[in-house]
Amino acid sequence: MKIRFLIFLCGILALTICAGDTYAQKAKVTAPHTPPVMPQLPPQLMPPHPANKMQQRYFDIDAKRMIEDVNGEDALPRSREFKRIDSTYYVGWMFEGAYKYNHSADYLGYRNAAVPLERALDLMEHDYSKALATRTGDIMTFYPIRILAPDYTMIAYYLMNCYANTDQPDKVYKLLRRTLKWKFQASYYMDSWNHLAWTVHRNRFYTSSKYSFLKNSIEENEKLAQRYLDTSMMTIEKNNAINEQLGASVPYLHGNADREKIGVYHYRNILYSYSFQIDSAAYYFELMRKAGRLPHNNFANFKGICGDFRTAESEYKLASMQDAGDKRLQEWAYYSSIIDIYKAKPATGASLSRNMIKAAGSTPGYGWYNIALARCMTYDGQISESDRYLEKAADFKELHIGTTLGQSHYDFSVQMLKLINKEQAWQMQKFEHANWWYNPSVLLDMTSKLSETYLQQLLIINQFAMNPERDKVIYKLFSTESTVSWDEIWYLLHDFSTQYFLKRFQKEAETDSRAYIRKYFELFTARLKMQQGKYKEAKPMLDKLLTNPNTDAEYEKLFVARVYQAEAECARELKDNSTHDLWLYRLYTLYPQLLPFTGMAMNMNLYVTGEADPAVEKRLRACNIHWVTDKSIPAPQAYVEFSHNGKNKNITYYVLDQDGNYIVQKQSFAWQKADEAGKQLAYKLFNIGSKADEKESD
């Protein structure tokens, strides 16, 4: 009989205890949780219940849960069954809470999931406090209680996320402190010290007046988060001394210290990347890579703030497979669309964003994807479409799950794009009316739009004037916590405190440790000098930027295009017309969608064939395009063909560069009203789409 019992015991000990991933703080726990039947506890650890009740739990609940998955689709009916047998046993409430948590995607869902999880935790502490507090290196003592800590930490992990996803960081903090009092000898699902660091970092811009667990500055909060990670490392070492006494008889705990250290490295990466400690962040990312646990999304964000957009894009693609299925914002998709804008491919980013919107529905991330799509529309020149998606984002109640990006980031992104669109709408009047400066109705409209632009600028300035994070997130241009592109920041700053920002960006250009990023500060410095009228000082700075060896020609087209634009503006002010024309031509061939919003008239050769409509052609020629015939002037060749089939009237168009290469591919659109057709054609010659084109692409 003793031999049979020992064989049974060895078989049980060979099973791996299911535990959460200490590295992926943003992902829900997906490991099946099907432990063996809980053995009878020794008398000193038994709950204060009659023996017959404990026997009922043992045979009617514990035996059945051995073959049930707490994260499975049958968890809800099993929870009802278990609670019907014994509603004072935590298992039924745990099953209900896990089911509701795994099926939550909004505020109400997580709030409802928290109720049974809270109940499960209370019942567990009431019945098993002595067992939960037991730390042991003795296998015979450990074996009877081996299921309790994993159950407890899984319940606590789900409950913590419910609190976090319903914006209750104070409850998150109290729960984490509650879990720490048991001093578990492994983290299992809940690496509490790491999550304390994460909670502090996520709320770093608040102070103790709002949440008592915080310090009173971002710097102090970041130091506190690092101290929590230091404690996490010390706890791992302390636990390892006990767990190694168990030897290989408990497979999960054997060598567990190395796995848990990966979780600390993960949060080190987040903190070091945020504080621009590039070497330290790179060190811990490399440790995670060697361990086969590289977080591709975070690593992509890190490479992005370092200016290595090529690697960032590659890592985002890997993250798309790593994060598949999560009901939260897929950061890789949001930031990939910004990289597409850098590559002068806003239509590609728009296509990705539309696909994400369709996949997300009304779940978390939907609002962010609408912001991404609006941005792509802005850089594709489709301002009215961009405004439409911005309104969708503004009206959506986004739930910020598993990310440090919160409502303030969300609102700032929406308001920034609204600002750009208002400025672009003002520029559109200049583009659509070459005679704008002596057209009273156009001038009146432009005055109104300019007033709206200034009001929008003031609104944003006032919103983040008291934001202590603006130095790290806004003025640094590239930050892990930034949700806007570097180019968008220019629209916010160029009309305010030129001398202040000039000194600031000059200093950043000299001191920033990121070699690929310094040129962006140099561009801002040159453009601010231009704002002061110092074009002769700005021009050599721009010339130097064009020879910068740290520029990726494919992934930094927006940067190069803005340098071309600045060069053209300098040449115009310095009365160098031939150089001005050359820079405009280069800008057009690289990023044509930008030109109608620069206020500069593009030289263009026009060739019209077919049965031209005089009214359409007249309206086209009335736009702010310099139509030339002199072949010595650098200008693209625009071809327009009119055709009709009965009542259907069509315009086919395409644009070639001076070498005969397509800049705008050959395509057609139908039209009815001459005035609208003329304006639409003018934009299309700059590769700017329309609402009709968007529907066709869908």
What is the value of pTM for the model shown?
Answer: 0.88
Predicted confidence at residue 373, as pLDDT, reads 97
Predicted confidence at residue 455, as pLDDT, reads 86
Rounded CA separation 354/372 (Å): 9
Q: What angle do CA 546, 549, 550 make, to 5 degrees?
A: 100
Predicted confidence at residue 326, as pLDDT, reads 64
**Are 239 and 231 spatial neighbours (Cβ–Cβ below 8 Å)?**
no
248-301: per-residue pLDDT in tens? 888 888 889 999 999 999 999 999 999 999 999 999 999 999 999 999 999 999
Predicted confidence at residue 160, as pLDDT, reads 97
508-532: per-residue pLDDT in tens? 999 999 999 999 999 999 999 999 9
Which residues make up the CATH 1.25.40 domain(s) of the chain?
A: 403-596
**Are 123 and 87 spatial neighbours (Cβ–Cβ below 8 Å)?**
no
Consecutive 10-residue runs of the chain (698 residues): their mean pLDDT? 39 35 36 49 83 86 89 94 95 96 90 97 96 92 92 97 94 98 95 97 93 95 97 96 87 88 96 95 96 94 96 95 72 96 96 92 89 97 96 90 83 93 94 88 88 84 75 84 93 81 91 94 96 94 95 97 97 94 97 96 95 93 94 94 89 95 94 94 90 44
Give counts: helices (H), strands (E), the chain. 31, 5
Rounded CA separation 207/224 (Å): 12
Residue 387 tokens read as 């405004």
- Which residues, in sequence order, are CB contacts of 234 under 8 Å at separation 6+? none
Give me the sheet containing 648-656, strands edge to edge: 625-627, 602-610, 637-645, 648-656, 662-671
Secondary structure (DSSP) of 26-85: TSPP-S---PPPPPPPPGGG--SS-HHHHHHIIIIIIHHHTT--TTSTTHHHHHHHHHHH
Residue 643 pairs with which residues in a beta bridge? 650
Predicted confidence at residue 248, as pLDDT, reads 80
- Fold (topology level) of 403-596: 1.25.40
Predicted confidence at residue 323, as pLDDT, reads 62
Which residues make up the CATH 3.30.160.150 domain(s) of the chain?
A: 601-697
Pick the CATH number of 601-697 from 3.90.1660.10, 3.30.160.150, 3.40.1190.20, 2.60.120.560: 3.30.160.150
